[in-house]
Amino acid sequence: MIKYFLKKLNKRSEEDLRLHYEVEKSIAEKLKKATKNERKVIYRTMYDELFEKIPNHSRLQRRASSSKTKKTNNYNIKFLKKHLNGIKSFCEFAPGDGKLSIKISEFVEKVYSIDISNQLLKDELIPENMELIIYDGYNLNIKKETIDLVFSNQLIEHFHPDETETHFKIVYDILKPKGSYIFKTPHNFSGPWDISRYFSNTPQGFHLKEWTYFELIKLMKSVGFKNFKTYYYAKYFFFRLPVFYFIFFEKIFSVIPKSLRRIISFPFLPHIAIKTDK
């Protein structure tokens, strides 16, 4: 029932949604079955392949709308700005069009913008204090303990489950002592949040794994992170709530069937937002 209403709310046709789903699912299945070295190759071309086959992709539509991009970036800047005091070096993973990193460069001395492919607009002017780094998802050419604050938005869910810990280790290594990582990612219970949401109760597209607060905090603790601050995060607003709030509702909703859970849990667990320290 929820998938039916989601389709009705989307501006794209049933045929367009189905094509997008099948293309993304096909690429995702290759990723899931691939070895580490094979994934490196797929990472470099997966979005080019997707955007070529799905020219009306929502990300491309947002790029074409300066007002939507500005609204999203203003929201993220509002979320980040309170954490920028005393910050000299900032690093964003998966910056997309790079607009947020460019804006943050006005507030800090150095910005590193890290992605698996260059998705900046062709005529985009990069500030002198910003550096775009293209990497393979594993080997990052940044010295250890050089970054004050790392940020990512809608990234964690795209990792192969075997590689999420690797990502956290990379972030931990480049952070200065007492440096922080702030990230946002869709919540498993109210998902899936990729194109699968119109056809399935589990992620089948580029969201290789959607997480819970409990899972992520447990994983990050094993890497060495500490001092977890958690936020209630929905579209264009956020506020801080204790970890207990999220763990409590995750335990309650965990016993509910997925098809019903994604509806009931949404007001309580829409997305995940965490700030953690080295």
Q: What is the CATH number of the domain that holds 32?
A: 3.40.50.150
Q: What is the pLDDT of residue 235?
A: 76
pLDDT at 4: 45
Predicted confidence at residue 65, as pLDDT, reads 58
Q: What is the pLDDT of residue 125?
A: 83
Position 8 confidence tier, pLDDT thresholds 50, 70, 90:
very low
Residue 270: predicted pLDDT: 93
Domain residues for the domain of 244 are 2-277
pLDDT of residue 101: 94
User: What total number of domains does the chain contain?
Assistant: 1
Tell me the two tokens of residue 118: 């260059």
Residue 5's pLDDT band, with cuts at 50, 70 and 90, is very low
> What average pLDDT does range 178-203 have in this prediction?
95
Say whether pLDDT at 67 is over 60.
Answer: yes
Q: Which has the higher per-residue pLDDT, 4 or 124?
A: 124
Residue 232, pLDDT > 60, answer yes
Determine the Cα–Cα distance for residues 93 and 115; give it in Å rounded to an integer.
6
Provide the pLDDT confidence category of residue 3 given band limits of 50, 70 and 90.
low
Cα–Cα distance for residue pair 18/21, rounded to 1 Å: 5
Of the listed ranges 122-131, 145-154, 265-274, the least confidently predicted one is 122-131
Distance from C-alpha of 110 to C-alpha of 134, rounded to nearest angstrom: 17
Residue with the larger pLDDT of the pair 87 and 96: 87
User: What confidence tier does 29 reach under pLDDT thresholds 50, 70, 90?
Assistant: very high
Residue 227: the pLDDT is 97
If you average pLDDT over every residue of the chain, what do you get? Answer: 89
Order of all β-strands in the sheet with 237-241: 130-134, 110-115, 89-93, 147-153, 175-186, 271-277, 226-234, 237-241
